[in-house]
Structure 1
């Protein structure tokens, strides 16, 4: 029976891709992956708001990494667990792990009250060097007193781009005082991965900082901007955020997007098809937004009426999280070329 089960799994896996275009094994890079950490054998920080929120338990569950494990093995153990899962993936080669800087006031002071969690650059870079399954994306808050030096250091540590989340890190993208910061990104050839649609993964968000039209400032200075989730969720003054970003994309060829989280049922159901129909495929990059690709949030069964029973059932049988996410996005129309494009050398 075990042999029969293995053969059935292989047939199902093949059937998902056979008529969807050739996807090379171990060729895909996940450009959007998060890690959990608690402050054990690392300088990670988890604020009281995060700990007291219901998501604290939920995130431990979907990360498959608990605080008790971190106490025993150290925060870095999550990288080992993730590397083992990536090795078992048929299609995923490696993943870019995103750091997350603390919140700073405009005066350059750390704002602990608004910092829900802190994933230091050094922590991510250390484990990305240790394990070939990972690349490192830095996070440098633009109000840090040493922001420009920190960008240089991040590049020297191997950062492939910089990630910012204005609704959580609390800064305006078009703040004129950030001009030198954006110039430094261009000088260092560091793209900027940034979130400009509605954010709902934290206990508190300040959506006024996530204004997609404000991207024109860094774009006008030559920054390569990667819009997380293709800005698919939300509206500004009655206009969908994705449309505002698309207008900018017509004028700025260095504006690109990742397709992470675009199958999440609760907030982004149907968004992947909208993005596929409106964006040029050569400006899209694969991302998962792990751990939000868990079956609980992104199950293929949520798309039963779109895909039909047979296709949905086939995808649901794929046990590896990334292979299942790739299969679902392929079945929903994401071109194979998107999976083969990469921002990582």
Structure 2
């Protein structure tokens, strides 16, 4: 969810999502134009690998949002909550009636069901922050979505949804929770280190890594700077180079957003200095030892706060495309200011002729808009390869958790 609030600071673009009905065709969107978006794609392989669940717990879900996001005297946080809920078409009546959980899911189901059969979304749980002593830190937590809730929502519509667990590895029962997640059909594990206060280098994480590797469960890690979910505020922990630690343990890692936002220290230098986080991700992608383990997702990639060089590089690097995965970062495609189509035209990665139909599509179906934009983006003839949208193949059923090793007899 990176970059949301610098977008809201401008009034140069429309703010509110009009939340049109997602049933297609949409006025001003030519059916033949939209059909071209699907050329070469297999809907059964199209799994959106980066979709958020959010709730307040008003349905008994166990979700919660930091109190500051509902307090008008914290205007930035207050705006954050309203913008995200508008992006998900949760209207003020749902907020006032305390029906946010249900309204959020209803809209997501409505959007999903407008896709061809077979397309699915991986719904993220999101664990709380913990400090280095293993103490729960609600004061560092922006929002929380329990594993059980993500599993339950996915279970209601397994034709459309799978679920992704989120377990802080410093929890005292982290390994037990991981085993339950594997047994419960989790398709991946999600961490946002800067928000959750997870240092990927911490030696105490090694048993967790070993369990992930043995289960073949991918670890989706937010890399680069994060501003929408500040949490613990540890931007240093989002450094892409820290991914080498789980990679060394044989964990398959998906770097969220391809680390496409902000700076991180180049820890490979004798005297580390700031570098573009995306450049550090590119370095890892080009290191031969990680070619079977390191992937990236392209969620949020075309937001206004990414550099044009990021867009051009991802389009140009055809050798990466077999290791890049489609993701939307839902509900952010519905937060209108985040993607500015004229800016993409000026950068040379989108044709002017596509601006009007894309804008009309976004007003009704932000998830279809997100897919269409990625299919239409070009740089000097290069486009995102079809393989990026064939993501289901990356998520084999996890192996059952290994039983605990027998303890040595006491002397």
TM-score normalised according to structure 2 size: 0.76
RMSD over aligned Cα, in angstroms? 2.5
Closer, same or farther: CA 172–7 of 1 in aligned 2, 3 Å: closer
More helix by share: 1
> What is the distance in 2 between the residues matched to 1:153 and 1:88?
33
Contact 1:34 1:97 in 2 (8 A): yes
> In structure 2, how many angstroms separate the alpha carbons of the residues matched to 1:5 and 1:86?
16
User: Is 2:345 the partner of 1:304?
Assistant: yes
For 1:193 and 1:211, locate their aligned partners in 2 and report how far apart those are by CA, in whole Å: 14
Q: Which residue of 1 aligns with 2:329?
A: 289
Measure the CA separation in 2 of the matches of 1:335 and 1:105. Answer: 41
Alignment of 1:46-57 (within 5 A): 46-52=65-71, 53=77, 54-57=79-82
Note if contact 1:225-1:255 (Cα within 8 Å) is conserved in structure 2. Answer: yes
Residues 1:77 and 1:317: Cα distance change in structure 2 (over 3 Å)? closer
Q: CA deviation at 1:303?
A: 2.0
Distance 1:25 1:191, change over 3 A: closer
8 Å CA contact 1:104–1:169 kept in 2: the answer is yes
Match of 1:222 among 239, 250, 257: 250
Asked if the contact 2:223/2:257 (under 8 Å) is kept, the reply is no
Look up the SS of the partner of 1:174 in the other structure: coil
Q: CA deviation at 1:220?
A: 0.6
Higher relative CO (CA 8 A, sep ≥ 6), structure 1 or 2?
2
Instruction: Show the 5 A alignment for 1:245-324.
Output: 245-249=281-285, 250=287, 251-253=289-291, 254-267=293-306, 271-278=310-317, 280-294=320-334, 295-305=336-346, 306=348, 307-318=350-361, 319-324=364-369
TM-score (norm 1): 0.90
Distance 1:92 1:85 in 2: 14
Measured against aligned partners, the alpha-carbon deviations of 1:32-65 in whole angstroms (never above 9, x if no partner) come to 0012200112111211233341212111111212
Report SS of the residue matched to 1:109: coil
Q: Does 1:155 align with 2:155?
A: no
Shift of 1:25: 4.7
Whether the 8 Å contact between 2:219 and 2:254 is mirrored in structure 1 is: yes
Give the 3 Å change call, closer, same or farther, for CA 183–68 of structure 1 in structure 2.
Answer: farther
Aligned twin of 1:339: 389
Look up the SS of the partner of 1:322 in the other structure: helix
Aligned to 1:101, which of 127, 130, 133?
A: 127
CA contact (8 A) 2:29 2:360 kept: no
Could you tell me whether the CA contact under 8 Å between 1:260 and 1:289 is conserved in 2?
A: yes
**CA–CA distance in structure 2, aligned partners of residues 6 and 57 of structure 1:** 28
Residue of structure 2 aligned with 1:195, choices 205, 222, 236: 222
Distance 1:226 1:207, change over 3 A: same
CA distance in 2, matches of 1:5, 1:67: 25
Cα pair distance change 1:49/1:22, threshold 3 Å: same
Cα deviation for residue 202 of structure 1 reads 2.5
Deviates more, 1:326-335 or 1:217-226: 326-335
Correspondence 1:204-243 to 2 at 5 A: 205-236=233-264, 237-243=273-279
User: Structure 2, unaligned stretches of length 5 or more?
Assistant: 1-24, 72-76, 265-272, 378-382, 397-411
Gap regions ≥5 residues in structure 1: none
- How many angstroms apart in 1 are the aligned matches of 2:83 and 2:342? 21
